[in-house]
C-alpha cells in the first residue's frame, strides 16, 4: 500500500469511528419487517424520502403482504396508495412486475444474492445492497447521493459513479463495517452535511474534514441547518463542543 493509500485508509477508519460517536443509533430508517417489505420500501424511496415512504407503507403492506398479492394488484388501487412517494405511475408498474417476477422465478421469496436481486424490476445495485445489508446481514455498501457526497468531501474517493465509489470505499474498510458505515454516513448527510450549505459551524467532524468551510461556518447560523430531533441535536452540539 502506498503512503497516500495508507493515509486515505486511516482517514476512513477515523471517520467511521467518529461517525459511530455521533450516530450510535444509525440504522436503516425505512420501516420493514421482512425482506419483501424492505425491497418494496427501498424501491419507493427513489426520488422520495424515508419519512414519506414510511407514511404509506403501513397501508401498502397491509393491502399487499405477499409477492402474490402484489402481483395481482389493481394498478389504480396500488397507485393511489403510493402516490405521496412520487413517480407513482412508474413505481406502480415496477411493483406489480416485481411481484409477478418473484412469484414466477423465486416462489414468492426475495432472493439473497446481488446478481438475482438486480435482475428484478426496479432494483439497481444500491437497492440490492440495502436489502442484502439489512434484511440478510450480508456486508454491503449502500451508495446513495448522501453517501457519495460525503465520502468525496472527505477525499476518500475521486470517483463519480456508484459502482466505482463502492469499490474504492470497500478497499478502505473491513467487510464487517460496510453496512453500518453506510448508515452512519447517510445519517450525517441527512442531518448536517447537506448538499447545499452544510452545517460546517456545528459539525463535530470539522477538524478532520478536508472540505470544512464549504457551508455555513458561523455556529449560530449553522445550528439552523441541523435537521433532526431535539435529543440528537443536543448530542451533536455537545460533540462539537457548542
The reply, when asked if residue 203 is annotated as ligand binding, is yes
User: Which pLDDT tens digit goes with each residue over 42-52?
Assistant: 999 999 999 99
pLDDT at 136: 99
Among 49, 82, 52, smallest CA distance to 64 is for: 82
pLDDT at 55: 98
Domains detected in the chain: 3-25+140-191 (1.10.1670.10), 35-134 (1.10.340.30), 200-239 (no CATH)
Which band of pLDDT confidence, cut at 50, 70 and 90, is reported for residue 2?
Answer: low
C-alpha dihedral sign at 104, 128, 89, 64: positive
160 annotated active-site = no
pLDDT at 70: 99
User: Which pLDDT tens digit goes with each residue over 178-222?
Assistant: 999 999 999 999 999 999 999 999 999 999 999 999 999 999 999
**Using CA atoms, how far apart are residues 188 and 204, in angstroms rounded to an integer?**
10
The reply, when asked if residue 200 is annotated as ligand binding, is yes
**From 126, 152, 168, 175, the catalytic residue:** 126
pLDDT at 12: 98
Alpha carbon distances (Å) from 185 to 23, 132, 142: 9, 18, 10
Which residues are within 8 A (CB) of 196 and not within 5 positions of it... i.e. 6 or more apart? Answer: none
4: pLDDT strictly greater than 70 = no
Q: Torsion-angle region of residue 182: left (phi > 0), alpha (psi -120 to 50) or beta?
A: alpha
Which band of pLDDT confidence, cut at 50, 70 and 90, is reported for residue 7?
Answer: confident
pTM, full prediction: 0.95
Which band of pLDDT confidence, cut at 50, 70 and 90, is reported for residue 6?
Answer: confident
C-alpha dihedral sign at 139, 145, 151, 157: positive
225: pLDDT strictly greater than 60 = yes
pLDDT at 161: 97
Looking at every residue in the chain, the average pLDDT score rounds to 97
User: Which pLDDT tens digit goes with each residue over 162-188?
Assistant: 999 999 999 999 999 999 999 999 999
126 annotated active-site = yes
C-alpha dihedral sign at 53, 22, 16, 218: positive
Q: Is the distance from CB of 122 to CB of 92 less than 8 angstroms?
A: no
Which residues are within 8 A (CB) of 189 and not within 5 positions of it... i.e. 6 or more apart? Answer: 145, 146, 147, 149, 150
Which band of pLDDT confidence, cut at 50, 70 and 90, is reported for residue 1?
Answer: low
The reply, when asked if residue 193 is annotated as ligand binding, is yes
Looking at the chain, the whole-number percentage of residues with pLDDT higher than 70 is 98
Secondary structure of residue 228 in the 3-state scheme: coil
User: Which pLDDT tens digit goes with each residue over 115-135?
Assistant: 999 999 999 999 999 999 999
Q: Is the distance from CB of 188 to CB of 196 less than 8 angstroms?
A: no
**From 50, 93, 119, 144, the catalytic residue:** 144
Amino acid at each position: 500500500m502506498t503512503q497516500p493509500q495508507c493515509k486515505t485508509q486511516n482517514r476512513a477508519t477515523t471517520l467511521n469511528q467518529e461517525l459511530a460517536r455521533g450516530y450510535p443509533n444509525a440504522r436503516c430508517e425505512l420501516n420493514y419487517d421482512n425482506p419483501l417489505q424492505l425491497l418494496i420500501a427501498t424501491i419507493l424511496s427513489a426520488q422520495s424520502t424515508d419519512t414519506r415512504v414510511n407514511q404509506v407503507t403501513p397501508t401498502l403492506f397491509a393491502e399487499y403482504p405477499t409477492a402474490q398479492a402484489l402481483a395481482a394488484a389493481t394498478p389504480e388501487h396500488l397507485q393511489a396508495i403510493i402516490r405521496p412517494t412520487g413517480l407513482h405511475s412508474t413505481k406502480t408498474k415496477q411493483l406489480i412486475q416485481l411481484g409477478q417476477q418473484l412469484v414466477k422465478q423465486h416462489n414468492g421469496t426475495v432472493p439473497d444474492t446481488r446478481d438475482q436481486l438486480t435482475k428484478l424490476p426496479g432494483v439497481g445495485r444500491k437497492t440490492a445492497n440495502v436489502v442484502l445489508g439489512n434484511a440478510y446481514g450480508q456486508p454491503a455498501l449502500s451508495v446513495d447521493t448522501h453517501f457519495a457526497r460525503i465520502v468525496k468531501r472527505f477525499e476518500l474517493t475521486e470517483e463519480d459513479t456508484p459502482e466505482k465509489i463502492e469499490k474504492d470505499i470497500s478497499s478502505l474498510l473491513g467487510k464487517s463495517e460496510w453496512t453500518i458505515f453506510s448508515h452512519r454516513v447517510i445519517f450525517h448527510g441527512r442531518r448536517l452535511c447537506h448538499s447545499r450549505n452544510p452545517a460546517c459551524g456545528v459539525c463535530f467532524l470539522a477538524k478532520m474534514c478536508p472540505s470544512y468551510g464549504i457551508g455555513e461556518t458561523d455556529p449560530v447560523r449553522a445550528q439552523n441547518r441541523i435537521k433532526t430531533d431535539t435529543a440528537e441535536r443536543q448530542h451533536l452540539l455537545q460533540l462539537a463542543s457548542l
